[in-house]
Structure 1
Amino acid sequence: MSTIVYTRTDEAPLLATYSLKPILEAFAGAAGIEVQTRDISLAGRILAQFPERLTDEQRQDDALAELGELATTPEANIIKLPNISASVPQLKAAIAELRSQGFDLPDYPESPQTDEDKDVRARYDKVKGSAVNPVLREGNSDRRAPDAVKNYARSRPHSMGAWSADSRTRVATMGERDFASNEQSVVLDQADTLTIRHVAADGTTTVLKDGLAVEAGEVVDATFMDVAALRSFLAEQVEAAAAEDILFSLHLKATMMKVSDPIIFGHAVETFFADVFERYGAQLASAGLSANDGLGGILSGLDQVEGAEEIRAAIEARLAELPRLSMVNSDKGITNLHIPSDVIVDASMPAMIRNGGKLWGPQGEEDDTVAVIPDSSYAGIYQAVIEDCKAHGAYDPTTMGSVPNVGLMAKKAEEYGSHDKTFEMTAAGTVQVVDSSGTVLMEHEVAEGDIWRACQTKDEPIRDWVKLAVTRARATGDPAVFWLDENRAHDANLIAKVTAYLKDHDTDGLDLQIMSPVDAATFSVQRIREGKNTISVTGNVLRDYNTDLFPILELGTSAKMLSVVPLMNGGGLFETGAGGSAPKHVQQLQSENYLRWDSLGEFLAIAESLRHLADREGNARAAVLGDALDKATERVLTEDRSPARRLGQIDNRGSHFYLALYWAQALAEQTEDTELAERFGPVAEELAAKEQQIAQELLDVQGKEVDLGGYYHPDEEKTFAAMRPSATFNAVIDALRE
């Protein structure tokens, strides 16, 4: 029997799974396909770390490790939904919820001292940040907007904010003494084991990491951020925003860069509230309140601090001064500096650009902003797009071209694999990367508090990345641009490899170029204004950034992207878009029983997964199912059956019903497989006949509060009941499943 593994993740995608997966099981079963589930949710990952503390009924297998092994096999066929990349506040909240449900979990140790606390912290650290993607992504990324989605966006364009030539919105970045400017990079001639060590001024040597295995041809980078320069830069931007009376906004990715970016976020909080920390910093620290957790973490813990009201008043007084902070939610007073995971650069910057360069201020007002992206590695791409919009106005979704992406991400490539090699310096000295013979490969002079990191990019993924770029360029006829800067150490090494590996392929007639990220961004936006497509071939971080930036401008959302990961050993990983896990959608369901999450990404991924099974295992019926699903998905779009945004209209569950109806009809009408047509003909007729009844049952539940029994770890029975509220529809699907 063929197998599809469907991941159980978090928040809105998890809720949608309770409704969609039974439909998938019912249809896939007709082709002899078993749909299995693996729990890689934040709660599931936490529980898997502490089996010895749980009862037999509570224990949970390490599904992520299991899927990581599966991803290296030819048999892999995994549909991966968005999951929480946990910040420390999210991790703590999930732990608290699980403890309230009777799971004997330890507290998260902020400053572990004992061996037991260090062990607990190490286990929790395995769950923090982007713990999932690096494990599953044993291949490089192919992300693009399917024709049906692009055509829909052109015929029903999303709103775009107007740009003014005199907009004061700009990107502020360091440009010196940061990760980009301090970077060193080497290519290993042979396999080896490296050591990262800190050598103090008195010669004391501390091993930061040993046993770092590297392969022949691997690219290894090292760099650091000068924290004194960072704080000076942040203070300058606070002053500049105040002088110009525009909003101050910080844009990081504390979820993926789970060691470095929370620290940078903390420096921004301390800099913006410099007077508060100067007067009360010692009291806050003694209470265990860290700026790295954001202003929200400090405010929520103030009741445990002596003089809490005085500190709270000082914070409020600072917020009343210039510059104004941009807001995540002005109605609730949630600022840009409240929670590290609230403002994610790859989503927040495109949203600002789409909105005419405007963010929201404390009174709900829209205004220009200084968008602070401290490290200059990729900040320039956003400035390039802003300059293009100032010169030419907003983009037109009805005519603009597309920027699909081929992304280097396999085997934890580049910065997103740096978590275990990132360190906050506890003393001044020199950080060195040495090989097994003791030769120093790279070294940096650092000061106390500096953030140092190393990252790796293996040769095999680079070769596969180049191959995938050539494949996509050949398939589409579009130019493919490698976004690499010859003046950056890492990129210079990649340029040499790309140039060499392109010779292994037939590139006649293909337009393949290498440009710096800023030049590539400028080139791409010029072409999209002309309605032309340009493939961006990027490293791991730019893969993430570009697959939000361009889809948000083109389609209004990144959740509608098709995301395929051809695994290097022959399997397939099918990701359901780049739309995040949508916590606000969960909150709306809980308060109004309305889920506006759009499962379009899941629909697209399922169809690709079915076609992969057909190609890999010769399951012809799976191909028929996949093609019929694509037709159903296009009808969901063209007939406006996607979730709306307000009560009284269909939500996520309604879109699933219409997908099932259209899927059954497409199968009944196709002529390739008469047995499938005969099987689904009656299903299509019954669903069509009961359409109004089912639609009404789905609408009738709206407007009421819903108890899911948990946020990070919802109750199964309660959540199934909430997400499958139509008894009529359930009866048809369950009969088909049986």
Structure 2
Amino acid sequence: MAETDIPDIVYTKVDEAPELASASLLPVIRTFAAAAGVTVGTRDISLAGRIIAAFPEKLTDAQKQSDDLAWLGNLVKQPEANVIKLPNISASVPQLVAAVKELQSQGYDLPDYPEEPSTDEEKDARARYDAIKGSAVNPVLREGNSDRRAAIAVKKFAQANPHRMGKWTADSKTRVATMGHDDFFSNEKSTRLSGEATVRIEHEAADGTVTVLKEGIKYPSGTVVDATFMSAKSLDAFLAKEIEKTKEEGILWSLHMKATMMKVSDPIIFGHAVKAWLAPVFDKYGDKLAEAGVNPNSGLGDLLARVKAMPEVMEAIEATRAENPPMYMVNSDKGITNLHVPSDVIIDASMPALIRAGGKGWGPDGNEADCVCVIPDSCYAPVYDETIEYFKETGALDPATAGAVQNIGLMAQKAEEYGSHPTTFEIPADGIVRMVTDTGVELHEHKVEKGDIWRSSSARRAPIEDWVKLAIDRQKAEGCEAIFWLDPNRAHDAELIEFVKPILEAEGVADKFEIMAPREATRKTLESIREGKTSIAITGNVLRDYLTDLFPILELGTSAKMLSIVKLMNGGGLFETGAGGSAPKHVQQLMEENHLRWDSLGEFCALGESLKFLADAKGNEKARVLGKAVDAATQGVLDNDKSPSRKVGQPDNRDSHYWFARYWAEALAAQDEDADLKAHFEPIAKALVDHEEAIVSELAAAQGSPADLGGYYHTDAEKTALVMRPSTTLNTIID
């Protein structure tokens, strides 16, 4: 990769609301950056873009796209990398299928997603699609560990303008239900490799037949390698018990999973929940459901669509629903339940929202009620359980006085569970699963039964050591409480502790840190922030993901406004822009009412950090001036309440971009560090101020009617630009 081929900043093209916002914001960024000699390029990591790139032989030259994810995967290993990464779709199977259908309708000759591939061609298509599913992007780009926290301006604004919190009471019936045995936590085994190894995973059936599930897995010396499984029988028994128990309690039943990221294990668990919910229906009509192509892993919505012409099955479903406890709803008005689509209820967004609401979820009657929160695996359930119990005891957190939780997350080089998709399997028959090196050394062995979910994950020495040192740097900068969220009773965590302690001692900072199991760390952290203190949570990959939604949603009302810096291990920088969990609802509103309530504050924060990083990396002092001015503009958007509103007719995302551009230009015109930039932006700032009335009027006039984007997953660029840049006056000034 020649350095001349690389823009100074690469801005990712993604999906849904963040991508629509880019159509409005990116022209502003490019215009302002050009004044400092900074180039801003784009690379397409959207779901549609990745699908198109996977089948070049089937497409016309005009339709073909390069594999931008692979290009970026190479870039993040280079010291000159400077990437602003927006949240992208981590596709569930229903999302992937919908995207393929949309592209086919647009003339792309793509194969259908084969549920049960039989021919070589179908198997090839399935393999390509499987590489796109779930968390396919993040493990490729995250060649560094995560430093995530609220920007100072964002935190101050949240305290001055606290968001609404639901009321917690001691008699709340809301609780977390988890297996506690026969799950991934209890069955986990872990070891650290003393040398490099090539490993295979094999299954030996009861009759002695050995099947290689995966081979050629290469690990460098010092890698922590884990293996574990969840018992399908125990899972089914647990789900059945919780459905009955919830019925007795008279509250809502809900399942909280991560089917988009844990793209093998969690969809299977989700399917078990669908079957448990409709157990009498599957018992009586299992053959008919199979004939109709029902796959419970795809959710209740797909099931209902396939059997709607079978009156006896529909009657049985309604009878079962009537007997079951009421279910937590995604959309009560439209009858969309917790089990309709596996990607609709994602634990790191759904659990914080429920906790913020005082433990309440929406029921099928359109009213809020207490909930049972079913989280089968007990690796992370204790975090949510302890949070709920804490708030029952103490009442809700006050955002006006709450402190802050920062996070240092281990995620580099596919560390931990998010890198485990290729090594997760649904066991085909009773027997034994082993991990064996090419020299015949057995690393792990589990006795398993048909249907069990077995998985392996790993974390390499270099990322672990980098993570600990990053934590030391962050604690030194903050001088506050710092906790490694590691449980010595969990096999994987015990191995990590063996890395952590010697490094802390060698650096002379062991007294600055605590090591606590997640449940205990949760309570300690909540107690600290209730007192207005800052706490640094130093966690593995999955907890990083969960906690950087949980605490920001409690503190700020959203996780989309977090500053997320990935210090790439080879010297580059990756700047992530926050969560995208509510993006689909935003797109729906735009298409119906031409109002986009997506808040680009995360993009603003990432842009400022990216420009300052560029200044350091390439000695471009004009970029530093731009970056400082971005911070001033971000503060201006917050202080003057120019963030998007929720309802049509009110200012939206496009308005916030006007105000951001104006405050940015005004800051550049007012600074005295760079005379050229000052002179360049003085007339731009004046024009943006003088034409405020015209710009605001033109933006307001665009709202109220349906918006045509030319697609959902694969929008038309020209149509999208017309929708997202409706102010001719603003466009003239910017362009």
The TM-score with structure 1 as length reference comes to: 0.98
User: How many angstroms apart in 1 are the aligned matches of 2:306 and 2:93?
Assistant: 14
8 Å contact 2:88–2:580 — kept in the other structure? no
Tell me how far apart the structure 1 counterparts of residues 85 and 285 of structure 2 sit (CA, whole Å): 45
CA distance in 2, matches of 1:616, 1:581: 35
Which is further off, 577-586 or 51-60?
577-586
1:506 CA drift (Å): 4.7
Structure 1 residues 324-344: Cα deviation after superposition (integer angstroms, max 9, x where no partner): 111000000000000000000
Could you say which residue in structure 2 is the equivalent of 1:294?
299
Number of the residue aligned with 1:252 = 257
Q: Quote the offset at 1:200 in angstroms.
A: 1.1
The aligned runs of 1:54-69 (5 Å cut-off) are: 54-69=59-74
* Aligned match of 2:440: 438
Decide which of 419, 424, 429 is 1:422's aligned counterpart.
424
For the Cα contact (< 8 Å) 2:18–2:580, is it kept in 1?
A: no
Partner of 1:88: 93
The Cα of 1:321 is off from its aligned counterpart by 2.9
Partner of 1:545: 546
> Which residue of the partner structure matches residue 490 of structure 1?
492
Quote how far apart the aligned CAs of 1:319 are.
2.3
Q: CA RMSD in A?
A: 1.0
Contact 2:182/2:231 (8 A) holds in 1: yes
Code of the aligned partner of 1:642 = S
CA distance in 2, matches of 1:309, 1:85: 35
Structure 2 counterpart of 1:719, one-letter code: T
Alpha-carbon separation, structure 2, partners of 1:285 and 1:482:
47
Contact kept in structure 2, 1:11 and 1:581, CA below 8 Å? no
CA apart distance, 1:4: 0.4
* 1:481 equivalenced with 2:483 (yes/no): yes
Is residue 98 from structure 1 mapped to residue 103 from structure 2 by the alignment? yes
Cα separation, 2, equivalents of 1:137 and 1:429: 36
The 2-side partners of 1:546 and 1:100 are apart by 40
Q: In the alignment, what sits opposite 1:343?
A: 345
C-alpha contact (below 8 Å) 2:84/2:606 kept by paired residues = yes
2:120 aligned partner:
115
1:414 CA displacement? 0.5
Q: For residue 317 of structure 1, report the CA deviation from its aligned partner.
A: 2.6
Distance 2:315 2:615 in 1: 64
- Structure 2: which 5+ runs fail to align? none
Alpha-carbon distance between aligned partners in 1 of 2:203 and 2:515, rounded to the nearest angstrom: 36
Indicate the SS of the match to 1:364. coil
1:173-211 residue CA offsets vs partner (Å, 9 max, x unmatched): 001000000000010000010110001112111000100
Query: Structure 1 residue runs of 4+, over 3 Å off?
Result: none
Alignment partner of 1:39 is 2:48: no
Give per-residue Cα distances to partners, 1:214-235, cap 9 Å, x unaligned: 1100000000000000000000
Per the TM alignment, residue 383 of structure 1 is displaced from its structure 2 partner at its CA by 0.8
Q: CA deviation at 1:500?
A: 1.8
CA distance in 1, matches of 2:582, 2:215: 35
Matches within 5 A, 1:511-590: 511-580=512-581, 582-590=583-591
**1:412-441: per-residue Cα shift (whole Å, max 9, x none)?**
111111100000011000000011111211
1:273-352 matched pairs, under 5 angstroms? 273-303=278-308, 308-352=310-354
Which whole-Å CA distance do the structure 1 matches of 2:322 and 2:717 have between them?
45
1:161 and 2:162 correspond = no
The Cα shift of 1:674 comes to 1.2
d(CA) in 2 for partners of 1:332, 1:464 = 48
CA distance in 1, matches of 2:395, 2:645: 29
How big is the shift at 1:504? 4.2
Q: Distance in 1 between matches of 2:316 and 2:14?
A: 40
Q: Specify the alignment match of 1:715 in structure 2.
A: 716
CA distance in structure 2 between the partners assigned to 1:649 and 1:6 by the alignment: 28
Amino acid at match of 2:183: D
Of 266-275 and 308-317, more deviation after overlay is shown by 308-317
Please name the residue that 1:354 is paired with.
Answer: 356
Structure 1 CA distance, aligned partners of 2:582 and 2:386? 29
- Counterpart among 404, 409, 412 of residue 411 in structure 2: 409
Task: Note the C-alpha offset of 1:503.
Answer: 3.4
Matches within 5 A, 1:231-242: 231-242=236-247
In structure 1, distance between residues paired with 2:581 and 2:608: 21
Instruction: State the number of aligned residues.
Output: 730
Identity within the alignment, % = 62
Between the aligned partners of 2:648 and 2:435, the Cα distance in structure 1 is: 58
Deviations 1:228-248 (A, max 9, x none): 000000001000100001100
Q: Determine the structure 2 residue equivalent to 1:205.
A: 210
- Three-state SS of the structure 2 residue aligned to 1:198 is strand
Question: Secondary structure of the residue that 1:279 maps to in structure 2?
Answer: helix
Per mean C-alpha deviation after superposition, the further-off stretch among 386-395 and 574-583 is: 574-583
Please give the alpha-carbon distance, in whole angstroms, between the structure 2 residues aligned to 1:316 and 1:725: 47
Distance in structure 2 (CA, Å) of the matches to 1:583 and 1:87: 14
Rounded to whole Å, the distance in 2 between the matches of 1:650 and 1:584 is 17
Contact 1:245 1:322 in 2 (8 A): no
Deviation at 1:581, TM superposition (A): 5.9
Describe the shift of the 1:54–1:504 C-alpha distance in structure 2 as closer, same or farther (beyond 3 A): farther
Counterpart secondary structure, 2:412: coil
Tell me, yes or no, if structure 1 residue 386 matches structure 2 residue 384. no
Letter in 1 for 2:552: P
Please tell me whether the aligned partners of residues 83 and 581 of structure 1 are also in contact (alpha carbons under 8 angstroms): no
Deviation at 1:284, TM superposition (A): 1.3
Give the Cα–Cα distance (whole angstroms) in 1 for the partners of residues 81 and 506 of structure 2.
Answer: 27
Q: Is the 8 A contact 1:10 1:581 kept in 2?
A: no
The answer for the alignment partner of 1:643 in structure 2 is 644
Among 212, 221, 226, the alignment partner of 2:226 is: 221
Name the counterpart of 1:457: 459
Identify which range, 587-596 or 431-440, moves more after superposition. Answer: 431-440
Tell me, in whole angstroms, the C-alpha distance in 1 between the residues paired with 2:534 and 2:8: 35
Deviations 1:92-118 (A, max 9, x none): 000000000000000000011111111
Shift of 1:288: 1.5
- 2:437 and 2:456 map into 1 onto residues whose CA distance is 14
What is aligned with 2:140? Answer: 135
Shift of 1:88: 0.2
Amino acid corresponding to residue 258 of structure 1 in structure 2: K
Give the whole-Å Cα distance in 2 for the aligned partners of 1:581 and 1:20.
19
Shift of 1:320: 2.7
Deviation at 1:309, TM superposition (A): 2.3
Find the partner of 1:16 among 21, 30, 45: 21
Which residue pairs with 1:692 in the alignment? 693
Distance in 2 of aligned mates of 1:725 and 1:206: 59
Deviations 1:556-601 (A, max 9, x none): 0000100000000000000001243610100100000000000000
Report the TM-score, using the length of structure 2 for normalisation: 0.98
In structure 2, the partner of 1:616 is 617
Residue 301 of structure 1: how far off its partner (Å): 2.2
SS of residue paired to 2:299: helix
**Which secondary structure state, in structure 2, belongs to the residue aligned with residue 590 of structure 1?**
helix
Separation in structure 1 between the aligned mates of residue 227 and residue 489 of structure 2, nearest angstrom? 15
Separation of aligned partners in 2, 1:176 and 1:297? 31
Residue 310 of structure 1: CA displacement? 2.1
Deviation larger for 429-438 or 277-286: 277-286
SS of match in other structure, 2:25:
helix
Counterpart of 1:397, as a letter, is P
Moved more, 573-582 or 92-101: 573-582
TM superposition shift of 1:634 = 0.6
Change in CA separation of 1:593 and 1:428 when aligned onto 2, cut-off 3 Å:
same
2:258 pairs with 1:268:
no
Deviation at residue 302 of structure 1 after TM alignment: 2.4
Determine the C-alpha separation between the residues in 2 that align with 1:356 and 1:384.
Answer: 14
Contact 1:137 1:565 in 2 (8 A): yes
